[in-house]
């Protein structure tokens, strides 16, 4: 499935005519390779709307008008890209994007995941709420639903790289905290790669400055910290397992970076 309009050279058939000495022959169009690559991204669960995101099309904002934002986002992008390029020959086993606008955090996490896919690692994109909803269906009586949920749980366990987008986005139940705790604990002890984005402030701010905490809280209207949503133990494991990338920019007077629509 093409992400944009039809290819003008093959009109979406992936075949073009070429003239040879023996007559007309069919040859794969140049867009075929790109299509295979896109299919690989979609197989990892990336929603079509965001499957095109890369480091190259990441916008760090207007340099002159929002200098501080530009610097923060550029530094975040460089850090994520360095990590993705050096993985797995690096100290940490994941990235935690936090404190910034959800759209930009998701963009960098997806760009990182795609570099891992290009490296041949098995990868999986999960929206936090959809992940929990699907896993919750495991307890449903319908065999087909329970089977899909079981397959998802198995894939989460086995995949080389797991991306959890918008971690802690919704208020938790005991079941939610226990489920996400199991997933994080397993990846932590198995040293499996974990990529996380969260708009919630961390209880333990790696930068340790009150200003940073204040900035990050600006993005959390309910003033919950991540630990309130997924449990402090899981937050500690993530901080130990992942390299933190703070994307907190100066707090505006109003909400910033609307939720990414899919």
Q: Which residues bind to Zn ion, rule: CB under 5 A?
A: 7, 9-10, 29, 31
Q: Is the dihedral of CA 163, 215, 241, 53 positive or negative?
A: positive
Q: Own/partner pairs for 250-256, CB < 8 Å, 24+ apart? A: 250/68, 250/69, 250/215, 251/214, 251/215, 251/218, 252/218, 255/219, 255/221, 256/101, 256/218, 256/219
- Classify burial at 162, counting beta carbons within 10 Å of its beta carbon; exposed 0-12, middle 13-18, buried 19 or more: buried
Closer residue to Zn ion, CB minimum distance, 14 or 41: 14
Residue 2 Cβ, how far from Zn ion at the closest point, in Å?
A: 9
Q: Provide the pairing of β-strand 123-127 with 161-165.
A: parallel
Q: Which of 248, 249, 245 has its CA nearest to residue 112?
A: 245
Nearer to Zn ion, 29 or 46 (CB): 29
Q: Residue 7 or 80: which CB sits closer to Zn ion?
A: 7
Task: In angstroms, give the least distance from the CB of 53 to Zn ion.
Answer: 22
How many other C-beta atoms are found inside a 10 Å radius of the C-beta of residue 72? 23
Q: CB of 242: closest distance to Zn ion in angstroms? A: 40
| Beta-bridge partner residues of 197 | 97
Identity of the residue, 33 or 171, whose beta carbon is nearer to Zn ion in the bound complex: 33
Closest approach of Cβ 167 to Zn ion, in Å?
38
Specify whether the CB–CB gap between 195 and 121 falls below 8 A: no
Of 29 and 113, nearer to Zn ion (C-beta) is: 29
What minimum distance in Å lies between the beta carbon of 32 and Zn ion?
7
């Amino acid at each position: 499935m093409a992400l944009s309009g039809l290819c003008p050279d093959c009109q979406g058939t992936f075949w073009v005519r070429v003239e040879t000495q023996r007559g007309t022959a069919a040859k794969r169009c140049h867009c075929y390779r790109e299509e295979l690559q896109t299919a690989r991204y979609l197989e990892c669960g990336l929603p079509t709307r965001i499957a095109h995101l890369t480091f190259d099309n990441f916008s760090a904002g207007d340099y002159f008008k929002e200098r501080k934002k530009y610097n923060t986002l550029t530094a975040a992008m460089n850090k994520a890209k360095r990590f993705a390029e050096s993985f797995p020959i690096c100290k940490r086993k994941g990235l935690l994007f936090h404190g910034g606008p959800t759209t930009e955090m998701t963009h960098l996490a997806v760009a990182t995941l795609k570099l891992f896919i290009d490296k041949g690692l098995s990868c999986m994109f999960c929206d936090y709420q959809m992940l929990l909803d699907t896993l919750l269906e495991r307890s449903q009586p319908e065999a087909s639903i329970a089977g899909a949920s079981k397959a998802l749980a198995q894939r989460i366990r086995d995949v080389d790289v797991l991306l959890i987008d918008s971690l802690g986005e919704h208020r938790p139940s005991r079941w939610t905290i226990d489920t996400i705790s199991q997933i994080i604990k397993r990846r932590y002890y198995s040293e499996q790669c974990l990529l996380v984005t969260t708009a919630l402030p961390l209880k333990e701010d790696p930068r340790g400055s009150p200003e940073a905490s204040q900035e990050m809280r600006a993005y959390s209207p309910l003033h919950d910290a991540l630990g309130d949503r997924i449990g402090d133990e899981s937050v500690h494991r993530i901080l130990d397992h992942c390299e933190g990338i703070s994307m907190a920019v100066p707090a505006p007077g109003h909400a910033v970076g609307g939720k990414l629509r899919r």
